[in-house]
Amino acid sequence: MAWKLEVWNPEYALPERMAEEGQEGLEVIETHYEGLWQAQRPQPVGPEDWPVLYLVDGRQRIEAQIADGQGRRALLATVVAGAVRRDSGGIRPVGEPKRRHLLLYAHEALEPLPPGLAHYQPVRVPRVDPTSLRSKVTEAMRTLEASLVNELEGGLVILDGQVYPGEASIHEPQRVLGYTKTQAASYLGPEEQALLAQLQPFERTPIFRIPGYALRRPLDVFSWYIRLPLNPSTAFYGGAALLRVETPAPEPYQARQLADLSVSLFGGMASSPARDPRAPQNLVPIGGLEQWLGRYLGNGEVVRRKIYQALFA
Amino acid sequence: MRRVGMVLGSREAKALDFWVAVEEGQYLRLDDLVYVEFPHPDPRRGGVDGKVRYYGMVDEVIKLYEGSPFDTDVFLAQRDLLPVSLSYAAHVQVTRLEPEEYLPPSPGSPVYWAEEEALQRALYYDRMLDKGLPVGLLKNGEVAYVNFDFLNGFKGGHVNISGVSGVAAKTSYATFLLHSLFQSPANLEKANTRALIFNVKGEDLFYLDKPNKDLSPQALEAYRKMNLPARPFQGVAFLAPPRKTPGDILPDVGRLDARPYHWDLVQFCREGLLPFLFTDRGAMSNLGFLIDQVTERLRHLAKDQKGPGLWVEDGHDGVVTLSGEVSFAELGKLKISSFAELVDYIELKLLGPESEGEEAKGDRAWTARQAPATLQAFVRRLRAAVGNVQHLIRGDKPGQPPNPLGGAQVSVVDIHQLPAQAQMFVVGAILREVFERKERGDYPGRVFVVLDELNKYAPREGESPIKDILLDIAERGRSLGVILIGAQQTASEVESRVVGNAAIRVVGRLDAAEAERPEYRYLPASFRQRAVILPQGTMILHQPEVPVPLALTFPLPAWAMKREEVGEDVSAETLRGLLD
């Protein structure tokens, strides 16, 4: 049978963008750190031998779009970020999540919000078109996540998304991993890119270096791809089960060690297509963490009702 | 005040039931008693400090992973992959509101264990005062009480016990109740209290006055806690039907000091016991009328006779055996000296002498204008009874019917070896006697009647004289001081008025189909579910004053419930006493 089902629900963008014709990759990528460019299959590490792990994730919600008397737009949003810790004592949330309520506006002379909405902190942004507002909310969430990373003591920190340099620099970059579920960009040239299609579950590519200026961020990272296992696998197309992992660790040997360990970690935490519309990339603990964060975001309907009440009180 | 949790907000909290989120490190079980306290919106209407307090009993407990939509999440959580949040919640059925302001408790209101005084209030013990009769131990080790006023007939009366035979321990529990009411200070008239127990299975109840050798220290502790002595019954009379063998009248049980009981023919006729031989009066409408007529004639016949045999003025050769001693007053009369002869005599009166063949006519004073078919049916049935009851109704010795209102505190009447018809007769005759004496005011105290297999004596369908008596007891008995402690496997098969009149209802292990019947709707669903798995020694008791049933355990009886349990006293002192 030739046809297989994509695991990701069609409501989400596919995790793997079709490589556009003639796309070349970034020339500044260095791929020479592990000799020959071929699939690596590191020794498996059982869950009982995993180091202390932190998983960090954030959630955001745009709660309302409001306009003042002159029709000037503003946005009410809430972002929240939290972490779970996995150690010999089990897996559980770390403390309370961080939360910020934002009022995004662009114009001068902001009219004050009614008392019921006083907890929304005004943040001035250059433009109020929907796309830049949304990316501003995401940025606020990433900043919260990054500020959380430095507060977590000991152990390996795994961030959902690219490693984002927050307001302060990361204290111990060699213990931080980030991963992206969707491959929006191709970094590798066509020859290296061809290896991705050949990767088997629990295999990774050699590490490669993405300099910060290539992505316009003040951070150089080592990166690699992992093929995640699919379980059940028969009905599903496994080609998309790729994860790109990166670390800001400065030394290649540190990155290599992390890369080897990461195969077992991400392979072990991969979600099942039977349960998750974004399997296997949406890691199981992250799913639980998001649910927990959702409780701190509160019920959207209720929040909206509160805003109603506050505006028309 | 030990806090156990808070009223939770993810489910509805109502005035009569609400959910509690159990705090970490705390726990709640089914039957635990708690109270919630919260301020009344109008402080002047609240109780102490303007607060409202609801007492209640836990009737459901649940644990689950919150917001975890997949059943298999548990495996991920176990492998430390998925962070989960465990919820532990308990549903509380409100038993009492103070003050009586029906407000829903606010989520977040603290919930406390009901202990000591709060427990007393939760179960209305404070209203029972010194009327609390211990009936077992609650799961938390506290004593379970019923208000004696609801047992002794003052405000209510009668107990009904349902449960599967062999597992539910209905009889043990009935004897435990008797022990409690003979020993507890709640019963102020112990000397004037009598109990009548019908022994329907084995010789189980024939060792009530013997200590139980299997009594464990825990059971002793339970008795101590309930403030009841752990000792067997005292002042017990054991009564058994006579053996069917000719000669001396001996009791038909293993216990040698049991007294045999029987009625003589004059008692049988004078007291109108004939109807108790007919258990299916409904089967033929005319038969009832005829039974009443013949009963009346026999009563008339026995007037002024001393017994045990019955003298009649007419008869024929087949009926009468002349005895050697004939007094002057009895000259010219014939003596009937066995139940079989009495049946012959009744046949003669109803159908006429056999020698007259087809033309024979009965005595008009007896036949009550009934068709020959009815008369023949009557005789046929009566003749069929001869084998069953002739050793109980006899003309050779003066009758000694059981007298449960006599000197013995407890009378155990054995009927377990009797045929069904004889059982009906004995139970009916004794109960009628007790009831009539109480109606006449012959005895001032109370009589508690323990009768198992109520479904046989007062079935839901059909009519019988004994069912009439039981209905009489159920409906009028409590004001007369005749209290029925009835038991049956299935309440659904018993006349609903008999069960319905019981103020106190007890359920032991039920079978699953039975537990779903409407007769048990007074139990909340969780109790009905639980009734199917109740272990021996655990009962669910419902009483009028407490709006929720109590799940309770009762200790092993301190008296032997079978021969193997008898703890013989072999101390030197006792043996010497026996020898002297």
In tens, the pLDDT along A124-133 reads 888 888 888 8
Q: Residues with Cβ < 8 Å from B15, sequence gap 6 or more?
A: B54, B94, B97, B102, B103, B104
CB pairs under 8 A between A and B: 33
Q: Is the minimum CB–CB distance between B518 and chain A shorter than 8 Å?
A: no
Higher pLDDT among residues B151 and B281, named by residue: B151
Q: What is the pLDDT of residue B429?
A: 93
Supply the Cα-derived Rg of chain B in whole angstroms: 30
Are residues B155 and B84 part of one domain?
A: no
Q: How far is it, in rounded angstroms, from Cα A63 to Cα B307?
A: 102
Residue A302: name the closest of A73, A64, A93 by CA.
A64
Report the length, in residues, of chain B.
Answer: 580
Cβ distance B67 to A84 less than 8 Å, yes or no, reads no
**pLDDT confidence bin for B503, thresholds 50/70/90:** very high
Phi, psi of A103 (to 5 degrees): -115, 110
The b/e string for B294-323 (b: 16+ C-beta within 10 A; e otherwise) is: bbebbbebbeebebbbbbbeebeeebbeee
Integer CA distances (angstroms), B470 to B11, B194, B434, B499, in order: 48, 18, 12, 11
Cβ distance B82 to A287 less than 8 Å, yes or no, reads yes
Q: What is the pLDDT of residue A21?
A: 47
Structure tokens at A184: 């929006």
Alpha-carbon dihedral of residues B61, B66, B72, B76, nearest 10 degrees? -120
Residue A122 β-bridge partners: A103
- Rounded to two decimals, what is the model's pTM? 0.78
Q: Is the pLDDT of residue B94 over 90?
A: yes
Per-residue pLDDT of B233-263, as tens digits, reads: 998 999 999 988 776 777 777 787 889 999 9
* A:176-235 residues touching chain B, CB 8 A cutoff: none
Kindly identify which residue of chain A lies nearest to residue B78, measuring between CA atoms. A90
> Given its phi and psi angles, is residue A298 left (phi above 0), alpha (psi -120 to 50 degrees) or beta?
left
Q: How far is it, in rounded angstroms, from Cα B505 to Cα B540?
A: 8
Q: How far is it, in rounded angstroms, from Cα B26 to Cα B23?
A: 5
Q: How far is it, in rounded angstroms, from Cα B464 to Cα B281?
A: 6
Q: Is the pLDDT of residue B153 over 50?
A: yes
Q: Is the minimum CB–CB distance between B71 and chain A shorter than 8 Å?
A: no
Range in A197-206, A232-241, B354-363 the model is least confident about: B354-363
Per-residue pLDDT of A264-308, as tens digits, reads: 999 999 998 888 888 899 999 999 999 899 989 988 888 998 898
Q: What is the mean pLDDT of chain B?
A: 87
Cα B244 to chain centroid distance, Å, stands at 30
Judging contacts by C-beta atoms under 8 Å, the chain B residues touching residue A288 are 68, 82-84
In a domain, B576, yes or no: no
| Among the partner residues A90, A275, A295, nearest to B80 by beta-carbon distance | A90
Are residues B383 and B276 part of one domain?
A: yes
| Among the partner residues A91, A268, A275, nearest to B83 by beta-carbon distance | A91
Q: Is the minimum CB–CB distance between B82 and chain A shorter than 8 Å?
A: yes
Residue A178: name the closest of A246, A254, A243 by CA.
A246
For chain B, what is the domain count? 3
Preceding amide of A280 cis, omega within 30: yes
Q: Is the pLDDT of residue B267 over 70?
A: yes
Per-residue pLDDT of A5-16, as tens digits, reads: 888 888 777 776
Are residues B465 and B426 part of one domain?
A: yes
Q: How far is it, in rounded angstroms, from Cα A19 to Cα A17?
A: 6
Q: Is the pLDDT of residue B344 over 60?
A: yes
Chain A interface mutation, best of B68, B74, B80, B84, highest count of A Cβ atoms under 10 Å: B80
Q: Summarize the confidence of residues B108-134 as an average pLDDT.
A: 91
Kindly identify which residue of chain A lies nearest to residue B82, measuring between CA atoms. A285
In a domain, B577, yes or no: no
Vertex A208 angle, CA A206 and A213, to 5°: 170
Q: Residues with Cβ < 8 Å from A143, sequence gap 6 or more?
A: A164, A166, A167
Q: Are B383 and B343 in contact (CB under 8 A)?
A: yes
A174: helix, coil or strand? helix
Residue B482 β-bridge partners: B447
Give helix A252-269 / helix A284-297 axis angle, nearest 10°: 80
Q: Is the minimum CB–CB distance between A4 and chain B shorter than 8 Å?
A: no
Q: How far is it, in rounded angstroms, from Cα B113 to Cα A75?
A: 48
Are residues B432 and B549 part of one domain?
A: yes
Q: Is the minimum CB–CB distance between B471 and chain A shorter than 8 Å?
A: no
Residue A263: name the closest of A237, A231, A224, A230 by CA.
A224
Are residues B520 and B442 part of one domain?
A: yes
A141: helix, coil or strand? helix
Are residues B348 and B321 part of one domain?
A: yes
Is the dihedral angle over the CA atoms A120, A122, A128, A132 positive or is it negative?
negative
Are residues B118 and B63 part of one domain?
A: yes
Residue B542: name the closest of B90, B95, B60 by CA.
B95
**pLDDT confidence bin for B320, thresholds 50/70/90:** very low
Are residues B231 and B304 part of one domain?
A: no
Q: Which domain holds residue B379?
A: 263-394
Are residues B235 and B140 part of one domain?
A: yes
Q: Is the minimum CB–CB distance between B83 and chain A shorter than 8 Å?
A: yes
Kindly identify which residue of chain A lies nearest to residue B67, measuring between CA atoms. A291
In a domain, B400, yes or no: no
Structure tokens at A22: 């003639």
Are residues B559 and B473 part of one domain?
A: yes
Q: Residues with Cβ < 8 Å from B134, sequence gap 6 or more?
A: B143, B144, B145, B180, B184, B226, B227, B228
Higher pLDDT among residues B318 and A29, named by residue: A29
Percent of chain A with pLDDT over 70: 96
Cβ distance A268 to B67 less than 8 Å, yes or no, reads no
Is the dihedral angle over the CA atoms A130, A132, A133, A134 positive or is it negative?
positive
Using a 10 angstrom Cβ sphere, with 0-12 exposed, 13-18 middle and 19 or more buried, the burial of residue B69 is exposed
Cα B179 to chain centroid distance, Å, stands at 14
**pLDDT confidence bin for B332, thresholds 50/70/90:** low
Cβ distance B84 to A275 less than 8 Å, yes or no, reads no
Q: Is the minimum CB–CB distance between A295 and chain B shorter than 8 Å?
A: yes
In a domain, B570, yes or no: no
Q: How far is it, in rounded angstroms, from Cα B211 to Cα B230?
A: 9
Identify the residue whose tokens are 């040997």. Answer: A253
Per-residue pLDDT of A56-107, as tens digits, reads: 999 999 999 888 888 888 899 999 999 999 998 889 999 899 999 999 988 8
**Residue B486: HSE in the Cβ half-sphere, 13 Å Cα cutoff:** 33
Q: How far is it, in rounded angstroms, from Cα A18 to Cα B456?
A: 83
Q: How far is it, in rounded angstroms, from Cα B112 to Cα B90?
A: 13
Are residues B137 and B183 part of one domain?
A: yes
Q: Are B457 and B426 in contact (CB under 8 A)?
A: no
Phi, psi of B193 (to 5 degrees): -115, 135
Alpha-carbon dihedral of residues A203, A208, A212, A217, nearest 10 degrees? -10
Q: What is the pLDDT of residue B269?
A: 92
Q: What is the pLDDT of residue A272?
A: 87
Structure tokens at B322: 């002349």
**pLDDT confidence bin for B318, thresholds 50/70/90:** very low
Using a 10 angstrom Cβ sphere, with 0-12 exposed, 13-18 middle and 19 or more buried, the burial of residue B215 is buried
* A:90-149 residues touching chain B, CB 8 A cutoff: 90-93
Q: How far is it, in rounded angstroms, from Cα B173 to Cα B539?
A: 9
| Among the partner residues A86, A291, A295, nearest to B80 by beta-carbon distance | A86
Using a 10 angstrom Cβ sphere, with 0-12 exposed, 13-18 middle and 19 or more buried, the burial of residue B386 is middle
Q: Is the pLDDT of residue B580 over 60?
A: no
Q: How far is it, in rounded angstroms, from Cα B496 to Cα B471?
A: 10
Amino acid at A208: F
Per-residue pLDDT of A149-195, as tens digits, reads: 989 988 999 999 889 887 778 888 999 999 998 887 788 888 888 89
| 3-class secondary structure per residue, B40-56 | CCCHHHCCHHHEEEEEE
Q: Summarize the confidence of residues B471-486 as an average pLDDT.
A: 91
Q: How far is it, in rounded angstroms, from Cα A188 to Cα A170?
A: 26
> Given its phi and psi angles, is residue B310 left (phi above 0), alpha (psi -120 to 50 degrees) or beta?
beta
Domains of chain A, residue spans:
27-51+155-282, 59-153+300-313
What CATH number has the domain bearing residue B158? 3.40.50.300
Is the dihedral angle over the CA atoms B219, B220, B223, B224 positive or is it negative?
negative
Amino acid at B544: P
Per-residue pLDDT of B156-202, as tens digits, reads: 889 999 999 887 789 999 999 999 999 998 888 888 899 999 998 88
Residue A54 β-bridge partners: A85, A157
In a domain, B401, yes or no: no
Are residues B337 and B270 part of one domain?
A: yes
3-state helix, strand, coil in chain A (%, to 5): 30, 25, 45
Paired sense of beta strands B33-39 and B110-113, if any: antiparallel
Q: What is the pLDDT of residue B284?
A: 59
ipTM of the complex: 0.72
Higher pLDDT among residues B62 and B76, named by residue: B62
Q: What is the pLDDT of residue B296?
A: 92
Phi, psi of B336 (to 5 degrees): -100, 125
Judging contacts by C-beta atoms under 8 Å, the chain B residues touching residue A86 are 80
Phi, psi of A161 (to 5 degrees): 105, 180
Structure tokens at B219: 């059971």
**pLDDT confidence bin for A112, thresholds 50/70/90:** confident
Q: Euclidean distance between the first and final Cα of chain A, in Å?
A: 63
Amino acid at A239: G
Q: Is the minimum CB–CB distance between B79 and chain A shorter than 8 Å?
A: yes
DSSP tally for chain A: helices H, then strands E: 5, 10
Q: Is the pLDDT of residue B58 over 90?
A: yes
Q: Is the minimum CB–CB distance between A288 and chain B shorter than 8 Å?
A: yes
Per-residue pLDDT of B398-422, as tens digits, reads: 888 998 888 889 999 999 889 988 9
Q: Is the minimum CB–CB distance between A299 and chain B shorter than 8 Å?
A: no
Q: What is the pLDDT of residue B485?
A: 94
